[in-house]
A and B are shown apart, each in its own frame.
Chain A
Amino acid sequence: MLRTALRNVLAHKARLLMTVLAVMLGVAFVAGTLVFTNTISDAYQKSSQKGFQGVDVAITPDKKDDDSANPGDAPRLSQQLLDQASKVPGADSAYGVVQGYSALADKKGDLIGGGFSNRGGNYYPGADGKDARYTMTEGRAPKATGEVALDSRTAERGHYKAGDSIRVSVNGPVRTEKVVGVFTTDDGNVAAGGTLALYDTATAQRLMGKPGQFDEIDVKAAAGTSQATLKSSIDKVLPEQAKADTAKKLAKDQAKAIEDGMSSLQTAMLVFAGIALFVGIFIIVNTFSMLVAQRTRELALMRAVGATRRQVTRSVLIEATVVGAIAAVVGLIAGVGIGAALRSVLNSTGAKVPDGPLVVAPTTVLVSVLVGVVVTVLSAWLPGRRAAKIPPVAAMNSVHSAPSTRGLVVRNTIGAILAAGGTALVVAGAGMGSDGQGPMSFGAVVLVIGVFVLTPLLSRPLIAAASPVLRIFGMPGKLARQNAVRNPRRTAATASALMVGLTLITGMTVIAGSMQKGIDKMAADGLKSDYVVSMGGTGGMPLSPEVSKTLAKLPDVTSISALRSSPARVAGDSDSLTGVDPKAIKDLVNVDFTEGSFAALGGTKALIDDKIADEHHWKVGSTIPVTYEDGRSGKLTVGGVFEGNQMIRGVMVDNATVTPHMATVADFQVMLKTKGGATENNKDLLKKTLGENPAIKIQNKQDTSDEIASAFTLMLNMLYGLLAMAVIVAVLGVINTLAMSVFERSKEIGMLRAIGLDRGGVKRMVRLESLVISLFGGVLGLGLGVFFGWAVGELIATELPSYELVLPWARMGLFLLMAAFVGAIAALWPARRASKLNMLAAIKAE
């Protein structure tokens, strides 16, 4: 049996090619993902371990999470603690770490490394005058205010060398500093593509923290003292809100964090690999169904000479195993290549991955090969069973039995029930709000399965609908249409493969477009200000109050408010207070009040959103007990209740009320209105006033919505990229089906050529068949995608009230064009083959 199976594989090399390719691509995706994530994870772990060299115990501020402590962050570490720590028994030396945000401008004034973290730190010379964390490669370390050292990659990107002056912004105002040195480091942020500027400790403290305070204290153990021993001696001198950890533990924690981060990336990528493999199943089923159909007589003969049904099935499965194994091994090798390529791609985007060997773990090899074989064998199982049902008498019968229509009747009934049930569940889920997620997901799966089952039935009317167009192409068009529905199961499987990818692509595009519109609308509706000024870079970096003060002095600024956020406990719950300028805010934001108005804001009168009001049953006049950032208690009175949204919510108070309690006074945003509204001139004026600061973003409504749009575009493009694999596999499926059709119909094609269809006509016939099948899958995918997009949108709308369904017609047209393109590409080779067919051989072939 094994020998027969092997012979069959060899005999059908060409016909198995597309199957092998499809499985191979899926496996390569899986293996590539594993190799890539393992390699990156390994490299980061090694680099983070290096980062802990020279540190044995690290002391960090530790916020105690109970109601007794202040709502604010734990205090930074003092110079006194540093001195104490360096003198505990077993300590060799200790240094203080200061870190914060620090934006650097290149020589044109643009931000270096925008999008990655832009950090600042301190150079803390030890007893030998050097800081073990940084190795100066050029110039010297910063010693005084006005001096800065850059990491080598940043220096390279900004074309800076020692002696140059550089514009720097830490929290708002622009400073011009002198570059005194360039260094290399194992710092994780730098390794990941971020920038790092170093100041002398005093300057760093003044710019990014408070004089005499540190964000972290690193202690090195004396020779012979273990990290644990050192930790226990340090524990004795620790203040209440600080903790000490051994470097070993920190390295382990960091390794775990890296692994967790990588494993979520891995999972996400494997989902898409799974989709590609799933699409491949349709091709495998098609191929093996055809091979079994072609071998009906042969298999019947085997049954006639005594092979059992099980043996027949097994021979098909052995064939599938061989095919799967070959594809998996090739896919694994390709996957290693993909993993290596992905790393280079990542490097070329600017995110420097630390160097390290390519990691091909044994599990990668095992998983990849197993996935390839299992998917192939499972997919071939149904055709294998069908093979076993061939009666021995079929060996004597020259006529191939036509696929029974009775099978389709049962199939259609099941499909209709599944599709209807799935649709009902999805619609029901859409109406259930946030609880609808479960029923909707389940319904979606059932509906998709229902559609898979129904596609053979759907193929006839949908493809018939295309006949007016096909009529233009004369006889080849008519024949193409008829050929497309000749084997409905095969056409359906081929179209389904394409449908999967297009459903996902369309659904995601619909959801993303609608969400973008919703967020955009919310931002536009909520904002009355002309400009919003904030710190660039990732995360809400604080903006110095200087910025709003400077801008307020401009005569063209008619209304301005700094927005501050201060952690606090509101009626015992951890929350934050948003500070605004009570006089200006009504001109800058747009909210609907259910009670009271902006006029009430000021002093201890606060505005709260409807959610908090409902939760605590507060209304205008109610008293709100608060604990401020510095731990002091106070009472606020509700002056008004507004409808909160994603932009403005929670408790809004007067800046004058909250500022005295803040540890560091900083704004997260400044909103302002200018004379004449948002114009280029006004923007230039603001920019100039702030000293062309590379770190500060000045955005009008259009900029804000552009930013939102670009975030969505980036996300969508990534999803498109990941789904491209599924589409490529689907293309292989279309090629496979056409090649099968051409092969099976070679006699007909030969006859058509003989009675006068020229080569072009034959090509057109095959191409049109391909287009028809592809567009069929495309239309199904678009339909399902829009439906799912709508359903998911209904759920999102409960969270995002401004959400509205946007149907991206242009995109959808593009997707349909893409489906047509897929069809055209897939038909290239089969059409060529068909047109080159030797007529005489084809006609004579029995």
Chain B
Amino acid sequence: MTTMPLGVKTTAHSTGAAARATDLSKVYGEGETQVIALDSVSVEFRQAEFTAIMGPSGSGKSTLMHCMAGLDTISNGSARIGDVELTTLKDKKLTQLRRDKIGFIFQAFNLLPTLNALENITLPMDIAGRKADQAWLDQVVATVGLAGRLKHRPNQLSGGQQQRVAVARALAGQPEIIFADEPTGNLDSRSGAEVLGFLRNSVRELGQTIVMVTHDPVAAAYSDRVVFLADGRIVDELRNPTADSVLDRMKRFDAKGRTS
């Protein structure tokens, strides 16, 4: 990459950490019913990198994302977004942090049905009372291909279009990091591929940092790096994955799990 992508903060350098977990543990319940969802996880998500978190059901991949994104509390250890330590923040500050520095993409789109596409996209900024950067907004809208549909309400859009609105909403605020929770889970494969393409482009062309939880090797193949979780621990990592290499790794864990 020779040109600096538009919209990325100049302070961001592709080698810096956008988010980092150190010895992060998450325990649910107490005593006999205690469940350790995350067991001293340490991981770093670098700027302008597209990371996929994979693992079987119950491996803790969603929990890791929720804890890193400030949606859930942490039992032990540390989670940082940029330089900010999440464990020290009260709800109000944490909410502000999510609003200003984090973007979210959910499996079920989670758009407000009363707002049109454009209003949904600018919602986080409207909540903050900030004015959207019009040039950036135009670029985002153009990137996700929604230009003609901005006045439509969610129920007038297809599932794929709705998720593209959600992607645009996450991108519009130029957050330091975007967390995507199974973003293609509710989409057909063509729409899913489209959305994943946008996510990858926003990393490559716009310099965005994205962390995506998925159980789909094809989706994971769009990322730069795959982190594998099992039983609340990071068990492996794969750079420049392909669907086949991811599937291959997963088979290995599966086999290991069965033999051990």
Contact = CB atoms under 8 A, between A and B. Distances in A.
Interface of A: 402, 474-475, 478-479, 482-483, 486, 747-748, 750-761, 839-840, 843, 846
A475 B127 contact: yes
A756 B126 contact: no
Contacts of A748: 110, 112
B121 to A, nearest CB: 11
A322 to B, nearest CB: 34
B66 interface: yes
Contact of A840 (B72, B110, B112): B72
B149 interface: no
20 contacts: A402-B155, A475-B123, A475-B129, A479-B112, A486-B113, A486-B114, A748-B110, A748-B112, A750-B110, A751-B110, A753-B95, A754-B106, A755-B127, A756-B124, A758-B91, A758-B95, A759-B91, A759-B92, A840-B66, A843-B110
Contacts of A752: 112, 123, 127
Interface string B88-112: 0001100110111001101010101
A754 B109 CA distance: 13
A633 B106 CA distance: 102
A649 B98 CA distance: 81
Contacts of A475: 123, 126-127, 129
Interface in B108-164: 108, 110, 112-115, 123-124, 126-129, 155
Contact of B100 (A478, A756, A759, A760): A756
Given A479-B114, A843-B106, A755 B123 contact: yes
A753 B106 CA distance: 13
Contact of B96 (A402, A756, A840): A756
Nearest to B72: A840
Contacts of A759: 91-92, 95
A210 to B, nearest CB: 85
Most A CB contacts (10 A, CB to CB) among B91, B92, B95 go to B95
Contact of A755 (B98, B108, B114): B98
B254 to A, nearest CB: 26
Interface string B242-257: 0000000000000000
B127 A761 contact: yes
Nearest to B106: A843
B192 to A, nearest CB: 19
B72 to A, nearest CB: 6
B71 interface: yes
Given A479-B114, A760-B92, 13 more contacts: A474-B129, A475-B126, A475-B127, A475-B129, A479-B112, A486-B113, A751-B112, A752-B127, A755-B104, A756-B128, A757-B95, A839-B71, A843-B110
A479 B123 CA distance: 10
A753 B104 CA distance: 11
Nearest to A762: B95
A758 B90 CA distance: 11
B219 to A, nearest CB: 19
A483 B112 CA distance: 10
B96 A758 contact: yes
Contacts, number: 70
Contacts of B95: 753, 756-759
Nearest to B115: A482
Give the interface size class of chain B.
20 to 34
A399 to B, nearest CB: 9
B71 A756 contact: no
Contact of A756 (B72, B108, B127): B127
B80 interface: no
A104 to B, nearest CB: 68
Contacts of B115: 482
A781 to B, nearest CB: 27
Contacts of A840: 66, 71-72
Given A756-B96, A756-B98, A840-B66, A747 B110 contact: yes
B169 interface: yes
B71 A482 contact: no
B34 to A, nearest CB: 19
A757 B115 CA distance: 16
B114 A482 contact: yes
Nearest to B126: A475
A757 B98 CA distance: 9
A761 B128 CA distance: 10
Closest 8 CB pairs of A and B: A756-B99, A482-B114, A758-B95, A751-B110, A475-B127, A475-B126, A755-B124, A756-B98
A196 to B, nearest CB: 70
A758 B124 CA distance: 11
A476 to B, nearest CB: 8
Interface string B52-91: 0000000000000010010110000000000000000001
Contacts of A760: 92
A486 B169 CA distance: 23
A751 B107 CA distance: 12
A77 B172 CA distance: 101
A843 B108 CA distance: 8
A486 B155 CA distance: 14
A839 B113 CA distance: 18
B71 A754 contact: yes
A535 B68 CA distance: 85
B114 A474 contact: no
Contacts of A478: 126
Contacts of A474: 126-127, 129
A758 to B, nearest CB: 4
Contacts of A750: 110
A475 B95 CA distance: 15
Nearest to B122: A475
A754 B69 CA distance: 9
Most B CB contacts (10 A, CB to CB) among A756, A757, A846 go to A756
Nearest to A747: B110
Most B CB contacts (10 A, CB to CB) among A402, A478, A757 go to A757
Contacts of B99: 755-757
A843 B123 CA distance: 17
Contacts of A754: 69, 71, 98, 104, 106
Nearest to A402: B155
Nearest to B110: A751
Interface in B2-48: none
Given A840-B66, A840-B72, A757 B110 contact: no
Contacts of B169: 755
A137 to B, nearest CB: 71
A478 B123 CA distance: 11
Most B CB contacts (10 A, CB to CB) among A748, A751, A761, A840 go to A751
Contacts of B108: 747, 843, 846
Nearest to A758: B95
A479 B119 CA distance: 11
A464 B156 CA distance: 23
A759 B99 CA distance: 13
A633 B103 CA distance: 104
Contacts of A747: 108, 110
Contacts of A757: 95, 99, 127
A412 B19 CA distance: 56
B32 to A, nearest CB: 23
B107 to A, nearest CB: 9
A751 B165 CA distance: 14
Contacts of A479: 112, 114
A672 B128 CA distance: 74
A752 B72 CA distance: 15
B128 A758 contact: no
A846 B106 CA distance: 12
Contacts of A839: 71
A748 B126 CA distance: 16
Contacts of A482: 114-115
A587 B115 CA distance: 75
Nearest to B109: A751
Nearest to B111: A751
Nearest to A486: B114
Contacts of B123: 475, 752, 755
Most B CB contacts (10 A, CB to CB) among A486, A754, A759, A760 go to A754
